[in-house]
Amino acid sequence: MSRAKIVKEQLVEQDKTFFAVYMETKNANQLLLSEEEDKLGTLAVSVPQPEKLVGAPLSSILLGDRNIMVARVLAEHLAKTTNKIALVSVFLKTVTEQEAAPILRKLMEKALKKDGDKT
């Protein structure tokens, strides 16, 4: 029985610190992305498409309403990249979704790369 892998990362952009906490289990991934401190924010879930179907993963918002677009897009990207169920939380204090999207995507890639380096 294998244990969950946990990665903590941070990135400084626009004089603000963004944090990521990434947890990977055998069948799913959880990624918490936040500005200035670790917090739960708008939570999206995404399920990858079965191999025979073409198209983006299916996604939905489970909690919150402030950062729904970036949470869904990142959850779909994570599900497609890992081919696992993905839960992504986004908490932003002062930065808009449009400003944060590329920063959070870069932070997500950094956490995934660090996780890949461990195995």
DSSP string, 51-86: TT--SPPEEEEEE-SSSHHHHHHHHHHHHHHHTSEE
Number of domains, the chain: 1
pLDDT of residue 53: 72
User: Using an 8 Å Cβ cutoff, are 83 and 28 in contact?
Assistant: no
80: CATH: 3.30.230.100
pLDDT of residue 1: 58
What tokens appear for 8 in the block? 């903590």
Beta strands 42-47; 16-24: pairing state:
unpaired
Average per-residue pLDDT for the chain = 92
pLDDT tens across 18-45, in order?
A: 999 999 999 999 999 999 999 999 999 9
What tokens appear for 89 in the block? 């939380």
Of 9, 17, 22, nearest in space to 36 by CA: 17
Q: What is the pTM of this model?
A: 0.89
Confidence band for 52, pLDDT divided at 50, 70 and 90: confident
Largest interatomic CA distance in the chain? 45
Q: What whole-number percentage of the chain has pLDDT above 90? A: 82
pLDDT tens across 58-86, in order?
A: 899 999 999 999 999 999 999 999 999 99
Q: What is the CA radius of gyration of the chain?
A: 14
Structural domain boundaries enclosing 52: 5-118
